[in-house]
Amino acid sequence: MKNYEIFQANISRQAYDYVNSEGWDKAIAKYPALKSKFIEQSSEVTKELMNEYDIVATVKASDLEDVFTAGNIEQERLVRLNQMHSVSVGDIIHDVESNGWYLVAPFGFEEIIVSTL
């Protein structure tokens, strides 16, 4: 088992309310963290967007799929550090031991090349 950290964008209730009143385009311009809801490729993760993420939990898991399972089905395995939702597309998983960073993509995971950020 390895140590992993789960990161999610810090999106306020106010930001979601703004989406409902003004639409996604205006809301993303005002609240950049909302862009995390539309990320599908690791190349879309920028340094500015990474600043919108907070660590929300840690977990011991065998691999990224196991982290995803813990974050959705077996949440009692998580050590919660902050308010969080289930692990979903746009979230980021950090493999602490290898220092690998991974985007939860629509199908599987994509490595984020941190040195380019």
Residue 40: how many other CB atoms lie within 10 Å: 13
First-last CA distance in the chain: 28
Q: How many domains does the chain have?
A: 1
pTM of the full structure: 0.83
Q: Which domain holds residue 96?
A: 2-116
pLDDT for res 37: 75
pLDDT for res 96: 96
Question: Tens-digit pLDDT profile for the chain (117 aa)?
Answer: 999 999 998 888 888 888 889 988 888 888 877 777 777 666 677 777 788 899 999 999 999 999 999 999 998 999 999 999 999 988 999 999 999 999 998 889 999 886 555
Burial 90-99 (b: 16+ CB within 10 A, else e): bbbbbbeeee
